[in-house]
Amino acid sequence: MFRLWGKIFKDNHLLKDTVIQDPSDETRTHKIFRAIDEICRQFDLGKPIWLETNIKDFKRHSKVRFRQDNFMEEIPFDYLEIQVIEEDP
């Protein structure tokens, strides 16, 4: 089972969170992008833009923060954090 945790923070306080599960046999990349799409749908957000630093952080830590510079529209929070919390063996 693949699970991705999405969290929205403002002033170091957790405002919202959700966990997306994906039991499919798709690639890790497909699962991540589908989970991000679902997180953005649930939180009513536009999709974040992946910058080079985001890609490096995610590859290194399986966790990344999307701040205002990752979104086209104004966001009412400090950052959206996504983290892989379970992966298929």
- The structure's pTM equals 0.92
pLDDT at 11: 97
Q: What is the pLDDT of residue 69?
A: 96
Please report the pLDDT score of residue 45 as a whole number: 96
pLDDT score for 88? 77
From first to last of its 89 residues, the chain has per-residue pLDDT tens of 999 999 999 999 999 999 999 999 999 999 999 999 999 999 999 999 999 999 999 999 999 999 999 999 999 999 999 999 998 77
Contact 81, 16 (CB under 8 A): no
Write the CA distances from 49 to 22, 56, 64, 76, integer angstroms.
22, 14, 12, 17
